[in-house]
Structure 1
Amino acid sequence: MTPNGCLIFEDESFLDSTVAKMNALRKSGQFCDVRLLVCGHEMMAHKAVLACCSPYLFELFNADSELQVGISLVKFDDLNPDAVEVLLNFAYTAQFVLLKADKDLVQDVYTAAKKLKLERVKQICGEYLLTKMDSQSAISYRNFASSMADARLLCKVDSYIQNHLQEISEQDDFLKLPRLKLEVMLEDNLNLPGNGKLYSKVISWVQRSLWKNGEPLEQLMEEVQTLYYSADHKLHDGSLLEGQSEVCSYEDDHIQFVQKKPPRERDEMSTGSVSSSSCQFNKHEWKYIASEKTSNNSYLCLAILRGVLCVISLHGRTSPHSSPSTTPCTLKIPNFEAQPEEVPEKLLKPMHYDRSGLGTAELDGKLIAAGGYNREECLRTVECYDPKNDCWTFIAPMRTPRARFQMAVLMGELYVMGGSNGHSDELSCGEMYSSKADEWIQVPELRTNRCNAGVCTLKNKLFVVGGSDPCGQKGLKNCDSFDPVTKLWMSCGPLNIRRHQAAVCELNGYVYVIGGAESWNCLNSVERYNPENNTWSLVAHMNVARRGAGVAVFEGKLVVVGGFDGSHALRCVEVYDPAKNEWRMLGSMTSARSNAGLAVLNGVLCAVGGFDGNEFLNTMEVYDSEKNEWSPFLGSLS
């Protein structure tokens, strides 16, 4: 008996006993109200238990009224019954035991967990598979991770392949992969470029060849293809050696798509536009994974070509009369560290979580990435990227899960305001991160709940601009400022145009609000706030209307990347020169990124995370202003 007269009793054994009894009832079929028919095998269960455990089944039971009464029947024709039984035990007992944890069964449990949206089980299975991976199984593991569209697992498998390609290339699975053989003619005294740039050029050549000829990839692999690498660092079709006209030149090292119509495509393409067939072409994955130097001027590469895992064998030679080389065997190169030009370029380490609608900022020479969506949930976690070690580590998580917010540094501390927690549309709460204490501290709430608002700092105050209305359908004109000394919010002059998902940034004593959407119509208009007269005025429009873009100050100008134009996630980038009041286009990113983060890290512009139109991203890429190129490779950040 407690002092206030309440009786409190806890039985620690009750929960374990009840769980065991519920599972026993399931196995005996008592009080069950759902039948799972898995490839002809019948399993009984209780809908309430399955709905609590599996978001997939919860949605299924809610969507179909017939499944809400009586004994329901749910069929699965593509799952392993043994794997489903493992997951049923997990649903009732919060544990599963695989006495014979062979690779195939673990993969089947992973597949079933993905279907039922049991994310934690899926993650545990993926981590177990990684512990069992070796050079013999790496290719099959990659194929499995690709079929499951698991970006995190793929990233870790690719990292293993990059470090063990020489051993992997000797295995049967590798030798059975489709192979593209290339002979590259070199002008005298010319060497092939570094591996990453070389294969970006090769992949771009494959893309253009498929578009030009309208032929399947398999036809390119039927015989050795001859290419020509000229002194101006362009890759040409081998027909140039015979005095024919140039097929295509490569101004950029990064991959891009040409807008030409293959002869076999039905859809017509107008000049300067891309047809629906080209959009379909773009959906296929193109990716450089790893490469090894095999002998002098010979390389072996593993890459994704139009969604197919392939091997590229490449040999460079100066004499056009020598015969093509056979596929070389990989060799260990002595003193490899002493030959930096031959070392395969390493991809920048990805974040631990896919994140879209995240907050990013530079703090103490490191890149901070906080919150965001990863398709399954809204995140509290915060990651910190150290460019010196090329690694992501976790710092203290936020107090509240949130996405669709922006983050700013004010007086050496991080501030986040508003956003969405994944359950309600808007938040009013805010937090401040102290790096010294490694903790988040609550700050006074916004006067209105806001999602998709822009945040920046100006004259030691925090500005929150625009955002979504309480229904999430219209943009706001509201602009508020927060004084960290007085802890008070003050209203500022309203915007001229309602905006949500706008990019907001400070430059030269002004606050800029860029693009966004009014209702759901994407905007290319830009406004500038003058704190002296508390008013917003319109400046030059962007070239592309976009919402959910990233923005940062780089070399004294505003750079805006990616976003969404109402139909597609964008790769394109543009820069605003305040002295000329004009926008111009820059080199496009290697990935389309909507709701990505953008920050300047040690003088380098970094884009991280976002949504590419199909997948949530955990990758990062950086901008080289001298080359006007974006790159996902580590060397570009050093």
Structure 2
Amino acid sequence: MMIMNYFVVLFFCTWMVFNSGKVTGAQISSNAMNNCEIYDPTADQWTVIASMTTERIHHTATLLNSGKVLVCGSGGYTGYIATCEIYDPSTEKWEAAASMTTPRGFHTATLLGSGQVLVTGGTNSNFNGDLKTCEIYDPSTNKWTPTTGMSGSRSGHTATVLNSGKILVTNDGATSEIYDPSTSQWSSPTSVGPAARYNSVATLLKSGEVLVAAGIQAAKYSPTCEIYNPSTNQWDIISSMTTGRSRHTSILLGSGKVLVAGGVGDADFLDSCELYDPSTGKWSVVTKMIAERADFTTTMLKSGKILATAGYGYTGYLDSSEIYDPSTGTWNPSARLSLTRASHTTTELYDPSTGKWSVVTKMIAERADFTTTMLKSGKILATAGYGYTGYLDSSEIYDPSTGTWNPSARLSLTRASHTTTMLNSGKVLVTGGEKIGS
């Protein structure tokens, strides 16, 4: 069971790695909804299902062990709500679920090993601050139970499931905290955690430790780094990076080392890169990227090399790409994308075996703020979004075997900024989003 969100939205781009090892990318440039639909790839048909009882945006959708989908909370200009509901694919209906004890949006909802769901933080109904409250949903009893609150209020944060099953919450400027499902208690590491920082990166190492690197601290670009060790429940300060930065990327290499690249620092856009070696606890400067870039993507190819693509630099949006070879420690230029882009129809495919980008068939419609979902067939479903004519109800499917886009069934309503969830049956559930007028 998994939620099929194989795409990364970063500076209005979507990127996806096919089973073949090729990478595809496409550029993407309110009001809450309660309408929902199911897409059946076999029949190439959208089916309208019962609407959610409540219009939602900035909510969470969590796939439960039963295969049902739990939707919680919402945020919008009229306030935040606590209501929840469950979609049952076997009946194709929404069921009422108990409301959370606290209204919230921009929260996290994490499936625990027990099958229960932990909800943390978020923003409250009165727009007057973030929350520290937390609660647990038990699908077997349909009840929410308040659990010990975090020591720091936060929203838009991260919740990382550790190998032990515990949950590490960090970012959003607050100190890190750990939730232990076995005791239903939050605790702090026994040593001082990361200083409050924004736009940092957190990387889970092969050892199960978590590396937090750089970011913005006290309105300055910070080079400081720390590691959380779950076995000792401690944060350890490690050597700082040479250059403070934010909006950078971090990726775990096959060797277990971590490559941090680019971003923005005191010298504006950066091309510098550094390598962290967990065996020594030290950073080393490696060859610079060919171009300064921030807000870009790094993707590990099947060869173990790293593809860095596009982003933003001194000249604006970038069309360049380059490849890092861990065996030589060098960057080499790769083929350029055909153009820099926004709200257009072109799609390009990167082939690691040749190091080239190739233009493939355009999408049928220009669209932004849409979703891309990998179907069980390996084809890609692009759904709704926003285009030149406004909100869209159209969908289309990309076939990697032919390199073409084909029209698919329309949704019953126009929408953008919605969610798509791949169900165990292979059907696709679309919920919420934005539309014009209501």
Specify the structure having the higher radius of gyration (Cα).
1
TM-score (norm. length: structure 1): 0.32
Q: Which structure has the highest helix share of the two? A: 1
Q: Which structure has the highest strand share of the two? A: 2
